[in-house]
Structure 1
């Protein structure tokens, strides 16, 4: 039997974050996470949409604090990015290192399912944080993240 996390969380931004939540819900995995004040994303406030995935609202709009909170509340972080030098990815890596939390960076344009499966099997996260590029910086990343996560956890 393949290992699955009990919960997938994210910060709710468009792109990889949303892809992780949608995939989790489709797989019957609990979802959640912490979103910035106002449930703000690059598309504006998305409170009802994000509450539907169990996200809570932080008292600050600071995206770095949102990232820090989700890493703190997870056992491992999966980062989908085709630009590993982006500010958001840099924050995510820095906070994972500071908190001694395992993380994996994957390019969703490549075949990365085996790499993710090995990471999951090694770390066995109860709560998996999904992070990465927003949709405007990486067109199609939402759908790629959904497809990859579903493949990894469908066996």
Structure 2
């Protein structure tokens, strides 16, 4: 099971593996009161990390930077991305190897939980991220952005962060070459989450 600690009342929304899709429409209204109470007294997110690939990964980091929020993560040797070397402005750590899987695994290990953004089902690198989270017994959440609005996905993410006790969040998902629209969606969700969790950032 991807989510090691689940919501007992929310099994129809957050099922086995933490995948979120059908049935999410009523989440915001149904759990908004509970979420508000949690945000007033719950654990606060302290850092966002990712592998800094184009698309979902770098969107999470860019959102953190835009709010002057702590960020980091591991990238392949040579700061490799599908768009060329990652610009030096990003303060992250390089792996000793140039492959993507090892850096994916290290980011899973160094985080308290991983959110995986795709539009549709998990596959390729996104599904590898899930498998690595399961291997290391780390909670993970798949947000299908074909089934969720930005506001709805943000509420689901915040409730999951609090329930799982996540302080270091690993942001993963589709690359820009696989989905040209995923960057904008992830940037919006992470930005909105930071606004709600840390209104003073």
Query: Unaligned stretches of 5+ in structure 2?
Result: 1-39, 197-201
- 1:4-62, Cα deviation, whole Å (9 max, x unpaired): 421100001000000000111122321100000111111011241xxx33211111112
Q: How many corresponding residue pairs? A: 152
Contact 2:120 2:145 in 1 (8 A): no
For normalisation by structure 2, the TM-score amounts to: 0.71
1:3 to partner: Cα distance: 4.7
Contact 1:83 1:133 in 2 (8 A): no
2:117 is the alignment partner of 1:93: no
Q: Which runs of 4+ in 1 moved over 6 A?
A: none
1:136 match: secondary structure:
coil
Higher strand share: 1
Query: Unaligned stretches of 5+ in structure 1?
Result: none
For normalisation by structure 1, the TM-score amounts to: 0.91
Contact 1:17 1:132 in 2 (8 A): yes
Question: What pairs up with 1:5-154 in 2 under 5 angstroms?
Answer: 5-48=45-88, 52-109=89-146, 110-111=148-149, 112-154=153-195
